[in-house]
Structure formats: C-alpha cells, structure tokens
Amino acid sequence: MYMLNSNIWTGPFWLESTERSLRTCYLDLPVANTSVLPLLPGSVCLIQAHSAYIAMLIDKGIKRLLSPASLSLILIATSTAAARQAPPQIIFNLQNSFQSFRTMTSSVASWSSPPQRSRIRIVQDRDDIEAIYPLLASYALAPESASSVTELAIDPAGWPSGSSCFFGDPDAPLTEPAKPVDEAAHALLESRARNLGLGEKTTHVMLRSLAWKKAHLLAQNPDSPKGFVKHNKLYAEVAAVLLLSYTRNVTHLLVGNLEWTPLLKEYLRKSNYALIPADYRAFPQLETVEVVDLSWKDDARQYYSLEILDYLHYFHRLPSFRNLILDGTGEYQMEKLLFPAGTSSPSFKRIQARCTDMSGGVLGMLLRAPKGLEEVVVSMGGLWSLDGGSPIVQLKTIGKCLLTQKKALRVLDLDLEDGIHARESEEEAGMEDYSLDEEGEEVIGVTEATLEKDEYFLLAEAEATGPLLPHRIPDTRKYGYTIGSFQDFAALTHLSINVQALMGPNDGWEPPYKLKEEPPFRLVDALPPSLEYLCLYGYRKGENFAVDSHVKELLEKKAERLPRLTEIRGVEETVLGEGASFGGSPEEDDLYQGKVERIEYVKSWEA
C-alpha cells in the first residue's frame, strides 16, 4: 500500500495519468485486505486492484470518499486498461464526482491546513471562532508553528450569544457539512487542557467543551441543552485559553471586556501570578496591552465602561509587559476600586489613557501599580458619559501617587481639565471615593479591615510598597489646590500639563480672574532642572494676572534655573490638551474616533 499525505496531493491522476506514471505509486492489494485498511486520519490512500475487483473497489471507495463524516480520503487507482474493463456506469459516476470531490478536498485542505499567521483575532462573528480549531490542531501537532503569531485581538463581548440574535432561532440544529478532525491533534489538545494547571472544575469544563466541539465538527449534532450559540461561546473561551498557551511570541494584545469569561480570567490571572507551569503560561513576551471595545456592541460615542483595575491582575506581572493603553475607557459604576502599589513586573513602564473618563482615585491606583513608571499620558474628555457627568480628579491624590514614581518618571502628559473640580485646599480622594467606611461608621458596610480580597489581591498585597489608600501616604509638601511641585523629579524631561494643575483654579465669573489661592510655590521653582520640554495646556495670557506673573518669571529665569529647557509651548499661543480640545459637550460628529480606528485596524486582519 502507498500512502500520500493529503497536504501535498495534487489531483486525481488515476483517470488521466499514463500507465507508466501510475505504476510508480502502487502495490497490488488482495481483495481480502480491502476491509482492513490501516487508514490515517487526513491521509490519501492510492490502491491498485486487479481488474476482476475494480468495480467493487470503485463503488466502495467512492461511497467512502464522499462521506462527509469520513476521517480519511480513499482514492481508488488502477491501470488505464483495467479501468476500461469496469462497468461503464461506475466509471461515469466516478468522473461526474470528480469536480465535487476536488472542491471538497480543496476546502478540506484549506480548513485543516491553515496558513501561518502573524495576527489572529477572535472579536466579533462566528467565523472568527470557527477559524481557531484548525489553528489549534496545527499547533498541537507542531507547537513551533505558533511562533509566527505576534499580535492577538480578543473581545468576548463580540462573540455571538443568544441575547444578541434578533431573527430566527439561534439554537436551531445546524445543517453544516462535516469537517475533518485529526484524532491525534485533538488528543493533544485534551492533554494540554489537563496540563495547564487550572482548577479541576475548569479543566473538566474545558474537556467537555472540546468533546462537544469535536462532535459538532463531525456533524454528529451533539447535545446542546443551553443551545448551540451558548455552547459555542463556551468553546470559544476554551479555544482562546488554548490559543494563548501556544502563541508564546505575542508582543501586542488588543483585548475587550472579559467580565463574563471565568475560564479565560482564571487562566490569565494564574499566568500573571506564575501559578501554572512556565511552559503553559500566557504571554511570556507580551509588551503592550490595549484595552478597547472591538465588539461593535457598545455605543462608540460613549466611554467604554469596564473594571479597569482588573486588567492589572491579568498582565502587570508578566516578565516583558511594558505598556498599558486604556484609550476611550471609563469607570462607570466600577466595583473594584483598589489595587496594591508597586507590585508590577519591573518591565512595566508606560500608562496611556487618552480621552478617558476616570476619577482621581482610580487614576491614582493605576499610577502607583508599576515599580518604576517612566511615561504617563492621560487626557480626559472627547466622548459622552453614560450619566452625562464628568470625573472628579483630586489633584493632591494624583500628585502624591506620582511622587512615588519620581525617580523613574521621564515623560508626563496630563490633560485633566475636564476633571478638575476644586472643592477645598489639600483635598484628596477619601474613603468614600473607594466605597469604604471609616472604622466605626456604618454607611457603606465595608471598611478597609473588612474588605473582601481574593487570592490574587492577597498575592499582590504581600509585595506592596506602600499603603493601599493614597491618602495614607505621608504628606511631604504642601499642595493647596495644585498637583504639587515636580522640583525633585530628577528624571523628568518632558512635561505637558494644564496650567490649572500647577497654579490652582481661577476665582471669579469673568476675566481677569484671580487665583482661588496662591500656590505653595513659584512656577519656576516647581519644575525640575532636568526638564527639556514644557507645554502649559489652557494658558491664556491676560486672563489671570497672577498666573501671568508666574509665567513671566519662568521665562526670565529659565536659562539659569532650567538649563536644559529648550522648548516651551502654550505661553505665546494657547494650546489645549487632547481631551479639552473636544469641548465640554462635543457634537456627535466631533467625538474622539480612536475606538473606531482600532476596530477598523483589527477588521483588516485576515479572518
């Protein structure tokens, strides 16, 4: 018997080849052995039979060949002379079947032998989900083939669900042709699920879901008591976990809301905290995480509301993790408002949250999480909030949190104009901002001492480098209504910031204004000697004479006090920060488009 792998087979040459070429690839097969062929899943078997048995072999072979549930493809071959001796009707049937067979084998080959990918997405429609199984099968057989993947996009909120189907029955039985399932590859996927180091219940769910998917692919109409859509969504979650365990060279992840994906969240958290074997952990090379809505289900005009601090538990301790991007996000009715400080991997250096809707308390938690934060870019505004309000940013809280990063911070770009609502001097985010009672109070029902903490929070807290709540950080300077002085930020070279954050709010209804309170420093004294670039957002000369005097003094003394400062913007001309440039109530056509741009970017990837 001669076996030829289906991946390299090129055509049905048993009808067209010469007798010489055909004889180069056959062995005589006694008819007694035709019922016990040692077939390999996904293989092509070329058989030479004596002319006395050719009709029977062709008849049996073509029936097996075109069976959609078959795991193997059998080609029946003989010499040209023998073929002419077969009943004409059978040869005619074989020839008529050739085109459908060629179409089927081409489809099977493309499905079961996916090309190498550098980008993979599982974000919106069912096609994204179905494309993953053949990839997983190929990675199971050849794990090194997953090394080409460097970029992933995952958004479970976009996966089809029963609640998102408005027409027809989403759980009606599917009449889909069977697809080949490589038994060896599937067994390896099951073995990998067992070896991931997840909980016993999670592992059982994964194995059950893989078995369900296998039966579905083989057109066996598996039992789906919750409906096909929900079972397939669970499979998508299992497939995502397995995919992450194979694709170990991913450096860039775009990820949406993971709220309803317990298996995926367990795997990410255990990977982040090194609670599973190193060979199975997700993202050993991951550098950048973009949290973005890729589902099209959330209103692109509004801030993308989710549990922002959860994403630290998923990624912040990964060995190569460097950049967290939260553009267009908001914290509407967040439940988890606390995160232990200074608990990240040393590689975590950059936080970007452009056009966001985030309170000072949550922003402060983010700023304190890295061990050596080097770059911060934050702007507020640009989209619509769910309740029509705007965040409250306590500048002292932000200042104290930044102070914990003063040795490493090089670039600081803060456009907080939309969130500065000064109520009193030295104001900080307090217990109520974190949904906590002071000891002895019974308003909210939870104090710092009775706060419920899961195992991951406790692991992070064990390595914390400061108090959990920012207002418990000791005061080392006066803040007044400002963000405080940056004079001792020795690494800071680039500073872009609202003039209000440095000088405090205006007092009065129309210009010229007065300052609500003089800042506890002169502007020139609040800047570090290392500074090379300064941009003052929102400064308008002549609007407040007290601020003008600070700016004038800065220009006069900068050569002596700030010898490296070579560029100042926002003094002679007014420069608005990115968020403030949209205005307080932007029109629909003028809203921030970053979310839409990221969706279009991922849609451009090969499905």
How buried is 600 (Cβ within 10 angstroms: 0-12 exposed, 13-18 middle, 19+ buried)? exposed
CB 41 within 8 A of CB 180: yes
Q: Give the containing element (helix H, strand E) for 418.
A: none
pTM: 0.81
Q: What is the pLDDT of residues 230-253, one digit of tens each?
A: 999 999 999 999 999 999 999 999
Q: Mean pLDDT across the chain, nearest whole number?
A: 84
* Residue positions counted in the chain: 607
- DSSP class of residue 434 equals G
Q: What is the pLDDT of residues 408-419, one digit of tens each?
A: 999 999 999 989
> Distance (Å, rounded) from C-alpha 513 to C-alpha 433?
31
Q: What is the pLDDT of residues 285-316, one digit of tens each?
A: 999 999 999 987 778 899 999 999 999 999 99
Give the residue extent of every domain in the chain.
2-112, 115-301+591-607, 313-429+461-582
Which position has the token pair 């795991």?
71
Q: What is the pLDDT of residues 171-223, one digit of tens each?
A: 566 668 899 999 999 999 999 999 999 999 999 999 999 999 999 999 999 99
Q: CA nearest 393: which of 313, 470, 445?
A: 470
Query: According to the model, what pLDDT value does residue 13 have?
Result: 31
Q: CA nearest 296: which of 528, 553, 72, 603?
A: 603
Q: What is the pLDDT of residues 573-586, one digit of tens each?
A: 999 999 999 998 89
Look at 572 and 65; give whichever has higher pLDDT: 572
Query: According to the model, what pLDDT value does residue 170 have?
Result: 57
For residue 61, pLDDT over 90 is answered with no
Query: According to the model, what pLDDT value does residue 60 have?
Result: 40
For residue 16, pLDDT over 70 is answered with no
Q: What is the pLDDT of residues 361-371, one digit of tens each?
A: 999 999 999 99
Query: Residues near 577 by Cβ (< 8 Å), separated by ≥ 6?
Result: 379, 414, 415, 417, 496, 498, 537, 538
CB 544 within 8 A of CB 500: no
> Distance (Å, rounded) from C-alpha 121 to C-alpha 195?
25
Q: What is the pLDDT of residues 104-148, one digit of tens each?
A: 444 444 556 788 899 999 998 899 999 999 999 999 999 999 999
Q: CA nearest 307: which of 269, 378, 257, 262?
A: 257
For residue 83, pLDDT over 80 is answered with no
| 230's tokens | 């929900």
